[in-house]
Structure 1
Amino acid sequence: MPAPVIGLTTYREDAAWGVWQQRADLLPAQYAAAVEAAGGVPLLLPPVDVPGAADAVAERLDGLVISGGADVEPGRYDAEPHPRTTGWRPDRDAWELALLDAAEAVGLPVLGVCRGMQVMAVRAGGTLDQHVPDLVEHEQHSPGGPEFGAIEVTTTPGSRLAGLVGDRLAVSCHHHQSVRTHPGFAPVAHAADGTLEAMEANGERFCVGVQWHPETAVDVGLLAGLVRAAAAYNADR
């Protein structure tokens, strides 16, 4: 059986490498390395503004990861920006929302990582809390700069997520926002302070969002689960 192809959404940012400094489509290499380690073939998906592009991509993929990144534009969920909500990317929001529509239409397995979970919730008609420290009065979920927070999450017994990662696990996170409401998704993991750290859709399809970054640590269960679901999807075509 061929290795399943997993699409990974990317940033579009100013970047520097070698003698070049210009706009670039990029993603931390840990994402692709983690997919490869789990037995998948990573394929980067930069923002595209072409009618029908998301449908064409979804038809060729076996699985999809909505990657981490900038805040979702508050207008997408009818909210005014919090003072700490900055730097949203309308092109990326539109692309990833279109990809999620296309993925649902064909039953494609999906994993949302950090921002990816938030995009999934917003697409479903949910809302976000725009600055977690306002709620929990600490900065452990995003210590600042390039540092990841280290927290422990507890999963919901009987959930798909619990079957993949166990009852508890230590995770690396970097989010100052979180999901408040999530129509159509079950809450399946929380931090000790009550912050929602994962959600999953009901039914047989693999459709999971996590606030942490499984690509940065040994989280074989979650990524292996996505790749297995992608392989089964490919076999059933």
Structure 2
Amino acid sequence: MKPIIGITTFLESKAKQTYDSVNHNYIKSVYLAGGIPVLIPIVEDEEIVNNYLKSIDGLILSGGEDVSPLMYGENPTEKVQMICAQRDKFEKELFLEALKLNIPVLGICRGMQVMNVALGGTLYQDINTQIENSLGHYQKDTPANNLYHQIKIDDESILFDIFDEEKISINSFHHQSVKKIGNGLKEIAWSVDGVVEGIEHISKDFALGVQWHPEDLAVKYPDFLNLFKALVQACTPY
């Protein structure tokens, strides 16, 4: 049976209703990679968190709004304008339990930041105001499936094993980034200005975070589908 990959969602309010939503490209990428995509709605019950994890083989922490600075002991600057406390708490619990169970995890953009904060790390709340000489990291008016800037990859990392390249070009839609690295994690990719673009857990089989959005590139640039294939493979018993 194909592995079941849980994908976290975000709360979206429209037409006087609130929905649990996610970019369809996450679903498509998991399906094309050979997995069965299942959406995980936000709940506030630890027992249900455990039940979700018993039902999936792998986990994707999807992108979205900022992680609240309160999660790492800071008050927000004026640049932090969209947060969801329910989602922050839920995804932190989900990720930490997944780690305990050694369930393969792929964190994407916000998802990578959740991984870092959940393990005691911190974030730059806004790259351009807090990192000197930082470059562009938010391609606001450029299509999501267009490449935007380059990154360098550690040649002793899961990411290098996936791409077999020390330099690749990626898309980019973030204004926050990893500051202090979380416990048990290591940095594995960086942009030219030093912003962290990838992390992995040093003792787990597969717990990988990337700061860009491979789901939006996977069709146009098939190399990025390899990230999802690696997740699916990590979930497949030998």
TM-score, length basis structure 1: 0.91
Q: What letter is aligned with 2:190?
A: H
Aligned residues: 228
More strand by share: 1
**Residues 94 and 145 (structure 1), Cα distance of their counterparts in 2 relative to 1, 3 Å cut:** farther
Which residue number corresponds to residue 235 of structure 2? Answer: 230
Contact 2:99 2:204 in 1 (8 A): no
Q: Is residue 2:55 matched to residue 1:60? A: yes
Listed as ranges, the gaps of 5+ residues in structure 2 are none
1:188 Cα shift? 0.5
Alpha-carbon displacement from aligned partner over 1:191-215 (angstroms, at most 9, x marks no partner): 1111100000113510001100010
- Asked if 2 retains the 8 angstrom alpha-carbon contact of 1:71 and 1:88, the reply is yes
Query: Aligned ranges for residues 1-237 of structure 1 at < 5 Å?
Result: 2-15=1-14, 22-134=17-129, 135-137=131-133, 140-144=136-140, 148=144, 150-166=148-164, 167-182=166-181, 183-217=183-217, 218=221, 219-232=224-237
Q: Distance in 2 between matches of 1:81 and 1:140?
A: 21
Cα deviation per residue 1:16-53 (whole Å; 9 max; x = unaligned)? 5xxxx521111010000001000001000110112311
Letter of the 2:231 partner, please give it: L
C-alpha contact (below 8 Å) 2:157/2:188 kept by paired residues? yes
SS in structure 2 of the partner of residue 173 of structure 1? coil
Task: Classify the secondary structure of the residue corresponding to 1:143.
Answer: coil
Contact 1:59/1:106 (8 A) holds in 2? no
CA distance in 1, matches of 2:25, 2:158: 24
Aligned-residue sequence identity (percent) comes to 34
What does the per-residue CA deviation read over 1:66-114, in whole Å, with 9 as the maximum and x for residues that have no partner? 0000101111100110111111101101110111122012110000000
Cα RMSD (Å): 1.6
- Unaligned 5+ segments in structure 1 are none
| Rounded Cα–Cα distance in structure 2 between residues aligned with 1:145 and 1:80 | 29
Q: Distance in 2 between matches of 1:64 and 1:143?
A: 27
Question: 1: CA distance between counterparts of 2:230 and 2:49?
Answer: 23
**Aligned mates of 2:82, 2:135 — CA distance in 1:** 20
| Structure-1 separation of matches of 2:230 and 2:18 | 34
